[in-house]
Amino acid sequence: MRESFTVTMVHPSPRPGAALSILFAGQSQTVPEHRMGPQKVDYVLIHTVIEGTGWFRCRERHYDLGPGDSFVILPGELYTYQADGKDPWRYRWIAFRGAEADRWLAAAGIDAERPIVKGGHETALRAMTAVERCFREKEWTADWEAEGWLRLAFSAWAGANRPAGPPTAATAKSVAAAEADRAARWLQAQAAGPVTIARMARELGYHRTHLTKLFHAEMGMSPIRYLQQLRMERAKTLLLEPLRIEEVALSVGYADPLYFSKSFRKWVGCTPTEYRQGLGRT
């Protein structure tokens, strides 16, 4: 029989009012028939089993669990769990609360009717181990590090629970609309630098012609025109600030200020200087 132990590390420096606050992390080798509950907590508590077996009960549903399984205890839910009498659990856990918690759980497909995750345990256990370590070391950056590790654990749980992603994603948007939106966000991210449609298509995994047609059908304009619109709207905002025309041009992806001025005039109907002076405003 494995020797029993329990270790819990509490967050050394939580941020007041944080949207997500990790409370503690730990691990335990339980004794045979170790039992918790029936009881409730006011935070989210996730256990991931390393070795051994046992059961978890929530909302009158019974779940038999073993290595690699995770069970999620939700705030306000009455729960009970118990380790096996001959092969008791060894597991890790992490507890957290905050406004972001519900959104993360929903995205991962976890709720009181579906409190079990099968898979993703290797990443989750590594993340829990790291959180316990950073809480033990009491670094002032522990809050950011712990949240980063918890995000990594959730990516594993979500991937195991919903391999194809949330079911609402396909119904909310068509595949074409979703890909056009992804291309638009790529252009938004790259608008201040040199951009080619060939590069965009390559990085998004599409043939240039196909992506251009898809984008035009969904967005009502070509990717190039969309990029120009982004840049010119941004330029109009920057021209209200005390920046030189050259600085505005560079900020919106134009290395040549003269070419920027010509493009701006063609798009807006006046030069950047005239716009700044109020002659181009409507």
DSSP-derived pairing of the beta strands 54-58 and 61-65: antiparallel
Q: In whole angstroms, how far apart are CA 19 and each of 9, 15, 43, 202, 243?
A: 21, 9, 13, 37, 36
pLDDT in tens, 235-280: 999 999 999 999 999 999 999 999 999 999 999 999 999 999 885 4
Around Cβ 27, how many Cβ atoms within 10 Å?
20
User: What pLDDT was estimated at residue 170?
Assistant: 46
Q: In whole angstroms, how far apart are CA 243 and each of 3, 100, 229?
A: 68, 38, 20
- CB-count burial class (<10 Å; 0-12, 13-18, 19+) for 120: buried
Each of the 282 residues of the chain gets a pLDDT tens digit; together they read: 678 999 999 999 888 778 889 999 999 999 999 999 999 999 999 999 999 999 999 999 999 999 999 999 999 999 999 999 999 999 999 999 988 898 899 989 999 999 999 999 999 999 999 999 999 998 888 999 999 999 999 999 999 988 777 655 444 457 788 889 989 999 999 888 888 989 999 998 889 899 999 999 999 999 999 999 999 999 999 999 999 999 999 999 999 999 999 999 999 999 999 999 885 443
User: What pLDDT was estimated at residue 168?
Assistant: 53
What is the pTM (predicted TM-score) of this model? Answer: 0.72
User: What pLDDT was estimated at residue 132?
Assistant: 96
User: What pLDDT was estimated at residue 82?
Assistant: 97
